[in-house]
Amino acid sequence: MNDNLNTVEGDAPTQEQEIKINSDVVAEWLESDEGMKFLQPKFDKKVTQAIETYKNNTLPKLVEEEFNKKFNNETPEQKQLRALQEKLDKMESEKQRETLLNQAIIEGNNMGISPNITKYVLGNSIEETRLNLMAVQNEINSIVQKEVEQRLQGKNIKHIDSEKINNDPFLAAFNKKW
């Protein structure tokens, strides 16, 4: 049986039927008026579906947000209530932060870290703050350990020049007093 449906077995194919179909031929046909007439309704249908989806899902939210911005429907009591709620939320947040700072200072003191440093490593929770404090403690210990090792090896030892001490009026007065 012949692949071409328009011909009957035994009939010779016409010139139109002999055109081989490939992507170039199809692309050329789609760009023609006949091809555009074929595709345009399909494009229109998809665009219409997209517009309807946008209208149903996104547009109402955007309209409502814009309406609320321009025409705030809050009564004076509602505005006052909202302002009080925001103030209360802020106070609670500050209280939680202060409690967290106090806990962090206690933890820091237990680790030998100054409260002045503790406030800089304060996290959003006590667990996060503990991790930050441990990281600072590890870094400080590492620095101290390196310095001790260098001094034990005789490196980086700072010698005090006694002549400079004697020439410095403040230090000379201090030494005489003691």
The residue among 110, 155, 118, 160 whose CA lies nearest residue 136 is 118
Mean per-residue pLDDT, 169-176: 56
The SS3 of residue 71 is: coil
Q: For residue 118, give the 3-state DSSP assignment.
A: helix
Mean pLDDT of the chain: 79
Choose between 38 and 13: higher pLDDT.
Answer: 38
CA dist., res. 150 & res. 141, Å (int): 14
How confident is the model at residue 68, as a pLDDT?
75
The string of pLDDT tens digits covering residues 2-28 is 444 444 455 555 655 566 788 888 888
Task: Tell me the pLDDT tens digit for each residue of 78-122.
Answer: 888 988 999 999 999 999 999 999 999 998 899 888 888 888 888
Domain ranges of the chain: 38-72, 80-157
Is the pLDDT at 159 greater than 80, yes or no?
no
Encoded tokens for 85: 């709620």
Closest CA to 54 of 62, 65, 64: 62
Confidence of residue 158 (pLDDT cuts 50, 70, 90): low
For residues 155-166, give the mean pLDDT.
60
What's the rounded Cα separation, in Å, for the pair 85 and 92? 10
Residue-level pLDDT at 149: 87
Q: Stretch 155-159: mean pLDDT, rounded?
A: 60
